[in-house]
Amino acid sequence: MSAHLPGIGEWYRVEGGDIFEVVAVDSDDRSVEVQYFDGTVEEIDLDDWNAQTSTGVIVGTEAPEDWSGSVDVESEREESGYGGYENDRRLNASSLDGIDLFE
């Protein structure tokens, strides 16, 4: 049987609805590492991968519109706690009035 190695970064759907991204392929170990949208990582044997893709259990699909669900990304506004970095007074420079540069 000819082995089809999926490309890293390609998205697939398992029969039943779960979608995942291929994150690693090890041709020596004959395995495919995938990460589901919820962040769960799983390793699939390459022979099982080929059997499931040839029977339609695993099919290629488009990446989800909001792929950040699996990587837990926060926006800059959420990180500062002040509505954004531009409004965070702790990050603004203070006035240099009163400093004598020739002292």
Q: Would you kindly state where each structural domain of the chain is located, as residue ranges?
A: 1-62
As a whole-number percent, the residues of the chain with pLDDT over 90 amount to 46
- pLDDT band at residue 16 using 50, 70 and 90 as cut-offs: confident
pLDDT digits (tens, 9 = 90+) for 58-72: 999 998 887 665 554
Q: What was the pLDDT predicted at 1?
A: 46
Q: What's the whole-number mean pLDDT along residues 3-19? A: 86
- Record the pTM: 0.61
Q: Which residues of 8-32 are buried (b: 16+ CB within 10 A; e: fewer)?
A: eeebbeeeeeebbbbeebeeeeebb
Distance CA 1, CA 28 (A): 16
CATH level 3 topology of 1-62:
SH3 type barrels. (2.30.30)
